[in-house]
Amino acid sequence: MPRIVPVLMLFVAALAARAQDVPSAEDAIAVQAVIADQLDAFNRDDGQAAWSHAAPGIQGKFQSVEIFMEMVRSAYGPIHRSANAEFGTLHGEGDRLVQELVVTGQDGTTALAVYTLGRQPDGSWKIEGVTLEPLPDLTA
């Protein structure tokens, strides 16, 4: 019987840790608003607004709005010019949130975009990175 207590304690600790990986409704709304606002900014060619949603690490890596926008134009077509975005799974990874969305570019290209966002000292969420995986064209 004494062995059950440590195992039970580990189980409870694991459940508590898992519960922390489930984002609150407030965080989900905030994260999706940040992403949607950045997508809108890209569509308007408002580099400053798009840049404002990038985390300090991203801003430091690209050093200027112009360099950042050129990178997005060249490597993230469906995000740079999106026609539609459908939010999917949101989950926590430590002190970050990961939001998946299916984004369709104005050219019809569809991709799975996986955004990683980090909470900033002021409580806001900033985009720390995005991966883009092409999805098959299902219209053919």
Domain count, the chain: 1
Which CATH number is 60's domain given?
3.10.450.50
Q: CA–CA separation, 88 vs 79, rounded Å? A: 15
Structure tokens at 27: 């965080």
Residue 77 in tokens: 């077509």
User: For 54, which DSSP code?
Assistant: B
Range of the domain at 66: 23-134
Phi, psi torsion values for 42, nearest 5 degrees: -60, -45
**What separation in angstroms does the CA of 8 have from each of 12, 20, 75?**
6, 19, 48
What pTM was estimated for this model as a whole? Answer: 0.82
pLDDT in tens, the chain (140 residues): 455 544 444 444 444 444 457 899 999 999 999 999 999 999 999 999 999 999 999 999 999 999 999 999 999 999 999 999 999 999 998 889 999 999 999 999 999 999 999 999 999 999 999 999 998 876 55
The answer to whether residue 6 sits within a structural domain is no
101: in domain: yes
CA 57/CA 84 separation, integer angstroms:
27
